[in-house]
Amino acid sequence: MSDETKSVKIDGVEIKNSRRVSFTFAVIISLIAFSTGVLAYHYIFTILPQMPGCVQISVKNTDSQAASGVNVEIYMSVFSGTGEKIAEAYTDVGGKVRFCGIFEPNKDYEVKVYDSVGNKLWSGYFATNEKSTADFPIIVRQ
C-alpha cells in the first residue's frame, strides 16, 4: 500500500486522508467476521423454530424385496424399557412407512415391526438429531 497521504486545506485547517490499513488489522477484522458467522450458523437451530422432521422406515425381506402390509410401531424409549406408543402405521406397497411431526430432537425411540398375523419380526432403536430426523436410515431386513 502507498505511504502517501492526501490532505485538503479549508480556511487554514488541514484535513488528512490516510489510505493505509495494516495487514494485521485486516486479518483481525476478517477473523472476527468469520467467527461471528460460524457461531451464528452453529446456533441457528436454537434460535429459529424447526419444522418437525420425518422418519422413513423401509421394511424388506431377506431377498431385499419390499414387505407391504407390515405393522410398524414407534415407542418413546426410556431407561427402564419401552415407554408409551406414539405412532403406528402399516407399510405401503413399496414396504415403506413415513412418520412426520411426532419426533422430538435428540431423543431415543424404539421400533417394533409385526407381520400381518401379529408375529414380531424385528425390534430396534434409533435416535433423532437436532432436526428431529433419524440420524441414520432405518432399513429393516426380516
Judged by average pLDDT, the poorest of 1-10, 114-123, 128-137 is: 1-10
Residue 142 or 98, more confident: 98
| Residue 45 pLDDT level (bands cut at 50, 70, 90) | low
CA-to-CA distance for 132 and 46, rounded, in angstroms? 13
Residue 74: inside a domain = yes
Regarding whether 59 and 34 lie in a shared domain, the answer is no
Q: Copy the grid coordinates of residue 91.
A: 407399510
**Taking the model in full, what pTM does it have?**
0.56
Regarding whether 66 and 21 lie in a shared domain, the answer is no
33 has pLDDT over 90 = yes
Regarding whether 29 and 61 lie in a shared domain, the answer is no
Regarding whether 59 and 39 lie in a shared domain, the answer is no
Of 106, 94, 51, 49, nearest to 69 by C-alpha is 94
Regarding whether 128 and 65 lie in a shared domain, the answer is yes
Regarding whether 11 and 60 lie in a shared domain, the answer is no
- Across residues 44-64, what is the average pLDDT? 70
Residue 103: inside a domain = yes
As for how many domains the chain has, the answer is 2
Residue 136: inside a domain = yes
CA-to-CA distance for 103 and 97, rounded, in angstroms? 15
CATH number of the CATH domain containing 87: 2.60.40.180
Of 37, 54, 63, nearest to 100 by C-alpha is 54
**Pairing label, strands 138-141, 54-60:** parallel
Domain range for 125 = 54-141
